[in-house]
A and B are shown apart, each in its own frame.
Chain A
Amino acid sequence: MASNDTTKHGQHHQEAFPWKHIIGFLLSLVLTFGSLWFVLGSHLPSQAVISAIVILAVFQAMIQLFLFMHLTETFGPNYQQFLIFFAFFIAFTVVAGSIWIMAFKSYVA
């Protein structure tokens, strides 16, 4: 993301038209309708549909983070980007690790 170039100079050099936001919004709509199509329109097996919609969700979350929240924008050390990636790592570990470990519950019970 090349957000640094446009924002380093502060508010005096803000883009004249909010292209980033409009592109982000249109892409979000496309991805949402994409998920809807995978669920309703495609007749793929359910595992394939789930993989597809999760991937689309990750892309849509990235649009919010990079195009709307300007995660990479920085006016000093860019600590927040590392922090958010670390939080996503923890979140992924909690979700995926729990699903994985609970797959063994039939052996334990």
Chain B
Amino acid sequence: MAYSMEADMEHDHHIDTSKPMEYSTEDGSLKIFGFWVFLGSDLVLFSCLFTMYILLFRNTAGSFTSQQLFDYPTFLSETFLLLTSSFTCGLATYSMRRGMKNATIAWLIVTVLLGLGFIGFEVSEFTKYVSMGATMHTSAFLSAFFTLVGTHGCHVSLGILWLTSIIIQVAMRGLNPVTTRKIFIAGLYWHFLDVAWIFIFTVVYFMGKVL
């Protein structure tokens, strides 16, 4: 019971070996819970951006519609890259739990590379739209589109920098209660980005093709 009164009385650096390493200190358990709180608030942030997009996407101001703009190969590539990266990130956490340092680092590197591939496709998609004259200023639809998908892209970019810094820390310091907690939290963040993307490809891209 990491949160109980008894735990508070104990020494700060008490390590409970019955738990996985990232949960083994009270500090680690509390930080993991704190990160769930952040994910809850991030979920509400995305819900507001989705609401804005859903209410505005028909307001194309006589310019590009979602039907004309989106193309299947681009957004399907983005979807499969991010989905696979979420899987490899899960394998990194799994390897970490088994104490396999090199496997953890390897899966994290694969995750970062897939994330970079995703960002590459997204940047080329945005550049293509802007070069066609479909910018954030063109219509309410495009303002909402770039805000929603761009916010997600910012999250992924930040995640890439975060995972890279964690890879360096694990390579230098190995798996200890601090680095495993960092891997676990960054893993939660990365999976959450895939949750957000699932709703983006459904609500933005697929619905944009149907309606």
Contact = CB atoms under 8 A, between A and B. Distances in A.
A39 B176 CA distance: 47
A90 to B, nearest CB: 5
Contacts, number: 136
Contacts of A68: 86-87, 89-90, 191, 194
Interface string B47-85: 110110011000000000000000000001001100110
B18 interface: yes
Size class of the B contact interface (CB-based, 8 Å): 35 or more
A88 B43 contact: yes
Interface string A27-62: 011001001100100000010011001101100110
Contact of B3 (A36, A65, A76): A76
B43 A91 contact: yes
B192 A24 contact: no
A69 B29 contact: no
A7 B23 CA distance: 11
Interface string A2-41: 0000010111001000100100110011001001100100
Nearest to A22: B87
Interface on chain A toward B: helix, strand, loop, or mixed SS? helix
Nearest to A99: B54
A32 B193 CA distance: 16
B154 interface: no
Interface in B1-29: 1-4, 17-21, 23, 29
A7 B20 CA distance: 8
Interface on chain B toward A: helix, strand, loop, or mixed SS? helix
Contacts of B51: 94-95, 98-99
Contact of A64 (B19, B43, B198): B198
Nearest to A44: B210
A9 B2 CA distance: 15
B206 interface: yes
B209 A75 contact: no
Contacts of A69: 187-188, 191-192
A11 B97 contact: yes
Nearest to B94: A18
Contacts of B211: 46, 50
Contacts of A102: 55
Contact of B39 (A9, A56, A75, A84): A84
Q: For the complex of A and B, list the 7 residue pairs with the smallest distance between their C-beta atoms, beginning with the closest.
A: A91-B47, A87-B40, A80-B36, A57-B202, A25-B87, A76-B2, A21-B90
Interface of A: 7, 9-11, 14, 18, 21, 24-25, 28-29, 32, 35-36, 39, 46, 49-50, 53-54, 56-57, 60-61, 64-65, 67-69, 75-77, 79-80, 83-84, 86-88, 90-92, 94-95, 98-99, 102
